[in-house]
A and B are shown apart, each in its own frame.
Chain A
Amino acid sequence: MLYSMQEAIPYKSHMAATAGGRSRFHNFLKGADNGGGRRLVTNGTKTSVMELVVENAVIVFGRRGCCMCHVVNRLLLGLGVNPAVCEVDEEKEEAVLNELSMVNGGGIQFPAVFVGGKLFGGLDRVMSTHITGELVPILKEAGALWL
C-alpha cells in the first residue's frame, strides 16, 4: 500500500506549507466548498482513479458542490481525519463511477468513501459505523487516524 508523504503530516501544518498559504488555510478551516480535506482531481481514467484510491488512507469521491459530500468530510474532519477529497465534474462523473465500480466489483453511488484502498461505503455506512463505534478503529487500522 503506497501512502504519500503527506499522510504523516497533520493537516494544519500541511495546508500552511502548500501554495496559497494563509488565505487557503483560513478557507480550509471554514470548510470552504467541500467541507475541508485535501482536494485532489482526477481525469477519470483508470490509472488516475486507481492511483487516488490506493495512495490515500481515506478518500471521498463526490459530485462538485454536493452537500452530502460536505457532511462526510465534516464528520471525518471532526474525528481528526484528514480525508482526501475528489470532487468530480459532471462530465467525468460517469467515467469515474465506472472505474470505481470496477474496483469494488459492484454499483457505486456518490458520495463514495474508500478506506485503506477498499470501498467503505456511502454516508449511510459512515453514519451507522460511527454510531456503533466501529468507524474509528477501522480508520486507525488504515492509518488515517492516530491516537
Chain B
Amino acid sequence: MDFPSTQFVPSRAMGTYEPIHQIGMWGENFKSISNPNISASVIVDVANKLENESETTSHEMLVPSSKHDQEASKPFDKIQRRLAQNREAARKSRLRKKAYVQQLENSRLKLIQLEQELERSRQQGLYVGGGLEAGHLGISGAVNSGIAAFEMGYERWMEEQNKQICELRSALNAQISEIELRILVESGMSHYFELFRMKSSVAKADVFYVMSGKWKTSAERFFAWIGGFRPSELLKVLVPQIDPLTDQQILDVCNLKQSCQQAEDALSQGMEKLRETVSATLASGQMGQGTYVPQVAMAMEKLEALVCFVNQADHLRQETLQQMSYILTTRQAARGLLALGEYIHRLQALSNLWANHPREPA
C-alpha cells in the first residue's frame, strides 16, 4: 500500500486520522489565485494534480478503516460514525474543490481579457508596461472617469458619424431637395462641433490624453497636429473632391487655406515657446537635488497653457469648417462632408491593415 506525501494527524475528538495536508493545500491554492503572475496553464496543471490526489486520498481515507476492521472487537456504531465522518470530510473537500475550480475559471477568463487588451494596445502602438506612463496608475478617479466618459462618448459619436456618412452618400445619389440636403449638412457640421466640445471637456481632466490622441487609430495619430487634424491639410485633401468650383470660390478657398496656414504657424510657434518655457523652468537651478523640487511645480503651472492650445486648435478647426460651409453651395458642402468622413474611414482602415499585416519577427 502506497501512501503519497499526505500526513495523518490524530483528530482530537474522534480518534480518527484526517489527512490535514490535503486541507492545507486547498487553503494555499486559494491564496495563490490572487497572484496574477501565474499563467493559466500552470493553474490548470495544479488543479488536475490536486483532483487526482484528492481522489486517491478519498480512497485512502477508507483504507485505514478496512485495516481496523480486522480487529472484530470494534463496535459497529464506531465504524458507522467513522464512515459518516469520512463521507462528511469528502463532501466538504469536494465543495472546496468546486469553489477553487470556480475561482480558477474566473481568473482564467480575466487573464484572457487582459491579454486581449494588451494585444489591442500593442497593435495601436501604445506604450504599455513599465514606466510612469503605463496605464492610468496614479491618476485620480476624476481624471479616469473623465477619460472613460469621453471614450464612451466617442464610440457613440463614431456610430452616429457612420450613420450620417451613409445618409449623405444615399442623399447625394438620390434626388433630394435642397432643404433636406441642407439639414444633413447642418447635422454633419454640428456633429463635429459636438466632438470639439467633448474634447474640450476631457482636456480639462487630462490634456495629455487629448494631445496624444489616444482614442484615435494609429494612422490618424500620425497626421495629428495639436490633438486633431491640421485644417490646411484637410482643405488640400477635400477641395479636389468638391470640384467644380467657381472662380470666386477658388479664390475664397485659396485665401482660407492661406489664413489657416498662418494661424497654424502662429499656434505652432506658440507651442514651441511653451516647450522652451517648460524646459527652461524644469532645468533651472542646480541638478542633483532630487526629483521633487519647486521647479517641477513651477513647470506644471506653465504647462497649464497646453489646455488653451488644444482649445485654440479646435476653435481653428471649427472656424475653418464653418467658413467652408459659407463658401460652398449646399451640394458641395455635402460632398465635402462625405469626402471627409470617407477619408477618416480610410485612415482607420489603414491603421487596421497595418496592425494586421504580417511582418518579419524582430
Contact = CB atoms under 8 A, between A and B. Distances in A.
> What DSSP secondary structure best describes chain A's contact surface?
helix
Contacts of A70: 269-270, 273
Most A-side CB within 10 Å, residue of B260, B262, B269, B274: B269
Nearest to A135: B259
17 contacts: A31-B269, A31-B273, A35-B273, A65-B277, A67-B277, A68-B270, A68-B305, A71-B266, A71-B269, A71-B312, A72-B266, A74-B270, A127-B312, A127-B315, A128-B319, A131-B259, A131-B260
> What DSSP secondary structure best describes chain B's contact surface?
helix
B317 to A, nearest CB: 10
A67 B259 contact: no
Nearest to A34: B273
Nearest to A36: B269
B242 interface: no
Given A68-B308, A75-B263, A131 B316 contact: yes
Most A-side CB within 10 Å, residue of B263, B266, B320: B266
Given A67-B309, A70-B270, 9 more contacts: A71-B270, A74-B270, A78-B262, A124-B312, A124-B315, A127-B315, A127-B316, A131-B319, A133-B255
A78 B270 CA distance: 13
A132 B323 CA distance: 6
Interface residues of A, number: 21
Given A35-B269, A71-B269, A128 B262 contact: no
Nearest to A79: B262
A78 B265 contact: yes
Question: Which range contains the number of B residues in contact with the other chain?
Answer: 20 to 34
A130 B265 contact: no
A84 interface: no
A61 to B, nearest CB: 17
Contacts of B299: none
Contacts of A72: 266
Interface of A: 31, 35, 65-68, 70-72, 74-75, 78-79, 123-124, 127-128, 130-133
A132 B271 CA distance: 24
Nearest to A33: B273
Contact of A71 (B255, B267, B277): B267
Report, nearest first, the 7 A-B pairs whose CB atoms are least far apart.
Answer: A71-B270, A75-B266, A74-B266, A131-B319, A67-B274, A74-B269, A70-B273
Interface string B108-133: 00000000000000000000000000
A127 B319 CA distance: 8
Contact of B262 (A65, A124, A130): A130
A130 B273 CA distance: 22
Interface string B278-299: 0000000000000000000000
Contacts of B274: 67
B219 interface: no
B256 interface: yes
A66 B267 CA distance: 13
A123 B311 CA distance: 11
Given A67-B273, A70-B273, A131 B256 contact: yes
Contact of B320 (A66, A131, A133): A131
Contacts of B262: 75, 78-79, 130
A45 to B, nearest CB: 29
A127 B323 contact: no
Given A68-B270, A71-B312, A131 B263 contact: yes
A3 B266 CA distance: 27
A79 B255 CA distance: 13
Contacts of B271: 67
Contacts of A71: 266-267, 269-270, 312
Interface in B232-258: 255-256
A124 B320 CA distance: 13
Contacts of B256: 131, 133
Contacts of B255: 133
A38 to B, nearest CB: 18
A72 B312 CA distance: 12
A80 to B, nearest CB: 11
A67 B315 CA distance: 17
Contact of A133 (B259, B263, B312): B259
A110 to B, nearest CB: 11
Given A67-B277, A133-B255, A128 B266 contact: no
Contacts of B319: 127-128, 131-132
Nearest to A123: B312
Interface string B301-332: 00001001100100110011001000000000
